[in-house]
Structure 1
Amino acid sequence: MTIRVLIADDQDIVRTGLTMLLNAQPGIEVVGAATDGRHAVRLARQLRPDVCLFDIRMPLMDGIEATRRLAGPDVADPLPIVVITTFDLDEYVHGALKAGARGFLLKDAGPELLSQAIRSAAEGDALIAPSVTVRLLAAFADSQKEPPTQPVEPLTAREEQVLIPVAHGRTNSEISAELHISPSTVKTHVAGLMRKLGARNRVELAMWAHETGRA
């Protein structure tokens, strides 16, 4: 099944490069390209792509606001969005994740990580650039003064097993192969972990796992 992707970036050369790169990947097709945030929101609502790939710094509306309008907590039918940027700034990372992004990558990520992020988002998974995840966890560890959140229900043995590779940045497919369970079963356990821990994304699961000494 082909993953339909919408790209949004205000630089012609970047849009062209990303389109060529993604169209060269098996099972991925770029179906639209937007030049600014407003254009991106309009095209996304019109085309309903499987995944959106948004730059952060764009005219008229930035990528974070466009993400919020298409994937924020108040959106009834959110679209999977991966944010990609040249700027490795914590405020952008937190803003993108809070707005509902399923992935955050730097533009130097390379074709393999980019296509992996697209596939993960299409599967309902999330992928954050490893360098960003490590820094987020370190910043969290330095700032955390309160005791770890207690799960609303005890974690099952399998959820504990799934949590460790999640904390190490593994995708659902990788966890599936590692634990010899189906990707859909991994997805169910990840959803259970998020519900029990009140986590909004996989980075928060990783934070909790590191905070409690599980990873």
Structure 2
Amino acid sequence: MSAISIAFVDDHPILLEGIVSVFSRSNELNIVAKGYTTEDALKIAETHSPDILVVDLSMPGDIFEAISRISGRQTNTKVIAFTAATGIDQAVRALDAGASGYVLKGSTADDLLNAVHAVRTGETFITQGFAGKVIAALRNASLRKAAAQAIKLSIREEQIVRLLMRGRTNREIAEQLHISEKTVKHYMTVLMQKLNVRNRLEVVIAAQKLGDVVDPGAAAASAHQTYLN
């Protein structure tokens, strides 16, 4: 399989050089260009048409308009926003403009590489722990569905969510899945972290927004009984 062509644009030279240095060591990637401004991003997209274009959001110029123009061109270039901006509005604007990924700069190099691979295969990638709030804020249903794919639940986590939506207590979940109640509590903690929520009810609400683990027959029971557990 050929290497993924990629370009990086960021107005912080030291950070940019560091990223390029790290990713130039990967045999999976071919770095074709780098730049420092929104105008550079547009020129790189036009001249090199990389598979992936990683851009900062705080550069001079209208980066959201640039993302829209790049994503709207008849090329296969996918845009990943790599930014320190943790505001939900910024993320929603970037995704609405056409970005396929949103990675916070506090993430690891592996996280960014995972985003590159996910976006390259047509998925939407959002930094874990941040994705839930972004999904809830997206007004466009198709975008929300695509963004929801960024949150991956294990088979066991999906089983627990389905039982939660039927109003089951931790003890009942443990008995049905043949695991300990302590293990159920552990999974609940993991689910709350993944979905960026604070309690059992919010886990159910977030899961309903994700859509892929919803049990239609459980909605009525969960709305009432989840408060009790």
Superposition TM-score tier, normalisation by shorter sequence: 0.5 to 0.7
Q: Which residue of 2 aligns with 1:88?
A: 86
| Per-residue deviation, 1:32 | 0.4
Q: Take 2:215 and 2:103, find their aligned partners in 1: how far apart are those partners? A: 27
Amino acid at match of 2:88: D
Q: Which moved more, 1:62-71 or 1:97-106?
A: 62-71
Larger CA Rg, structure 1 vs 2: 2
Alpha-carbon displacement from aligned partner over 1:57-105 (angstroms, at most 9, x marks no partner): 111x243222111004xx3335201001011011110001001111001
Q: Which residue of 1 aligns with 2:67?
A: 67
Contact residue 49 and residue 75 of structure 2 kept, 8 A = no
Q: Which residue of 2 aligns with 1:178?
A: none
Aligned residues: 159
Q: Which residue of 1 aligns with 2:38?
A: 37
Per the alignment, do residues 66 and 137 of structure 1 end up closer, same or farther by CA in structure 2, a change over 3 Å counting? closer
Q: Take 2:83 and 2:74, find their aligned partners in 1: how far apart are those partners? A: 27
Q: Take 2:95 and 2:57, find their aligned partners in 1: how far apart are those partners? A: 12
- Using structure 1 for the length normalisation, give the TM-score: 0.64
Matches within 5 A, 1:157-176: 167=149, 169-170=151-152
| Per-residue deviation, 1:135 | 2.1
Alpha-carbon displacement from aligned partner over 1:6-29 (angstroms, at most 9, x marks no partner): 111011011101101212233012
Amino acid at match of 2:78: P
Matches within 5 A, 1:66-215: 66-72=66-72, 75-77=73-75, 79-137=77-135, 167=149, 169-170=151-152, 207-209=209-211
Per the alignment, do residues 62 and 122 of structure 1 end up closer, same or farther by CA in structure 2, a change over 3 Å counting? same
Q: Take 2:208 and 2:75, find their aligned partners in 1: how far apart are those partners? A: 26
Per the alignment, do residues 206 and 71 of structure 1 end up closer, same or farther by CA in structure 2, a change over 3 Å counting? farther
Contact residue 49 and residue 76 of structure 2 kept, 8 A = no
Q: Take 1:87 and 1:55, find their aligned partners in 2: how far apart are those partners? A: 9
Amino acid at match of 1:35: Y
Q: Take 2:21 and 2:67, find their aligned partners in 1: how far apart are those partners? A: 23
Contact residue 125 and residue 150 of structure 2 kept, 8 A = no
Q: Take 2:208 and 2:59, find their aligned partners in 1: how far apart are those partners? A: 30
What are the ranges of 5 or more consecutive residues in structure 1 without an aligned counterpart? 152-162, 176-204
- Using structure 2 for the length normalisation, give the TM-score: 0.61
**RMSD of aligned alpha carbons:** 3.2
Contact residue 63 and residue 83 of structure 1 kept, 8 A = no
Per the alignment, do residues 212 and 55 of structure 1 end up closer, same or farther by CA in structure 2, a change over 3 Å counting? same
| Per-residue deviation, 1:37 | 0.4
Alpha-carbon displacement from aligned partner over 1:87-129 (angstroms, at most 9, x marks no partner): 1011110001001111001011101110010111122222111
Amino acid at match of 1:68: S
What are the ranges of 5 or more consecutive residues in structure 2 without an aligned counterpart? 156-206, 217-229
